[in-house]
Amino acid sequence: MKNIKLAEDTISKLELNKLTKWIISTKILTKSKVSKKFEHIFSNWNNSKYAVFVNSGSSANLLIAQALLESKLLINKTIILPSVSWATTVAPFMQLGFKVILCDTDKENLGLDINHLKKLIKKHKPSCICLCHVLGHSNNIKDILKLVRTNKIKLIEDTCESLGSTYNKKKLGNFGLASSYSFYYGHHISTIEGGMVCTNNKSFYNLLVSIRSHGWSRDWDKNYKKKIMKQYKLNEFENLYTFYNSGFNIRSTDLNAFIGINQMKKIDRVIKTRNKNYQLYKKLLKNFWHQNDDNQFISSFAFGTIVKNRLEVYEYLKSKKIESRPIICGSIGRQPFWIKHFGKTKLANADFIHNHGIYLPNHSNLTESEIAYICNNFLKIAKPIFFDNE
């Protein structure tokens, strides 16, 4: 059996050949018309009004955080963040001076725990809540939407692991003000490095495209640009080097966008295969914990479960040439970067995932026989455990 990796590159030789020919023939490689075309294709597929292409999913979260600050939509800088998520789901808000509060994880879907979230909202009165849809699975969308509407809270979604998953006939990432996506190697599609922010709010979109590129106006439409220039009494020449927002340079390139356009041609096949693989894992590992949610369609990132003897399982699978990992960061409250600032944060469910969570490979090149091989070896060594039974 060959090495079974957590991820395999989705960029084919045919796509690389197309890229080679395009590079030779084009005059522009930096962000230009091809990036705009990729954004348009992605937003249409995702059923979002606007999409902003950036150099990573992490930068997508950073861009959302800064745009929130510039937007004047927040009544305070308090944000509730998911404890089971990724380092750069949380770090941008720390770096930009938000008051960050971690919410414990749900025992079923690994999103935000509703009971803990209600307590945190009552105590801290946040302006914003961030969801992380873990490994392709939605949070408790219905309950969370009710909470944010009742309490007038802005909602954002880290959808980097859940591209194409749907809830109530709507793709994840379309339930709040803005959402982030990642096109890193091994994600559903890849642009080598890259990410996207989606929003249905035009004003927020104009902030995003400005902050992405230094804070200037070059990606604004002509009418909006003229309006802002008139507000600041600027002529066309002055506007060229005028910076309206506190910005970054986190643009991607037309090279990455060209790859992304070709990746979008097979995205539906990729996510259907990942879903099929996930269903097979559930069948073969039916006696182990797995995520449950109200997703209409699960665009699985990996198969997550929990075991008593995680290190033993990891080492055994490795000896059989099978890769595995902890369930993303485990608990952010036990990560060194968090502890340096706030000390260790105890969260019962997230700590349980931190100690016992493991995920197994899922990608669109994985075959049924390889999944059977993974599961057969997993069953030889893994000892099941469930929440509240540690």
The residues carrying an active-site annotation are 187
CA distance linking residue 292 with residue 237, whole number of Å = 56
Residue 258 exposure: Cα atoms within 13 Å on the Cβ side: 19
Residue 166 exposure: Cα atoms within 13 Å on the Cβ side: 12
Residue 219: which region, alpha, beta or left (left: phi > 0; alpha: psi -120 to 50)? alpha
Q: Please report, for residues 51, 165, 222, 284, 377, the alpha-carbon distance to residue 271 in angstroms, rounded to integers and kept in the order given.
A: 20, 8, 37, 20, 25
DSSP state, residue 293: -
Q: Are 52 and 208 in contact (CB under 8 A)?
A: yes
**3-state percent helix, strand, coil for the chain, nearest multiple of 5:** 45, 15, 40
Q: Are 208 and 70 in contact (CB under 8 A)?
A: no
Q: Are 258 and 37 in contact (CB under 8 A)?
A: no
- Residues pairing with 180 in the sheet: 158, 197
Reference 389, options 306, 311, 285; nearest CA is 306
Q: Are 215 and 230 in contact (CB under 8 A)?
A: no
Evaluate the CA torsion angle 83, 330, 292, 371 in order and state its sign: positive
CA distance linking residue 229 with residue 236, whole number of Å = 8
- Cβ-count burial of 21 within 10 angstroms (0-12 exposed, 13-18 middle, 19+ buried)? exposed
**Three-state secondary structure string covering 363-385:** CCCCCHHHHHHHHHHHHHHCCEC
Collapsing DSSP to helix, strand or coil, 101 comes out as strand
Residue 49 exposure: Cα atoms within 13 Å on the Cβ side: 12
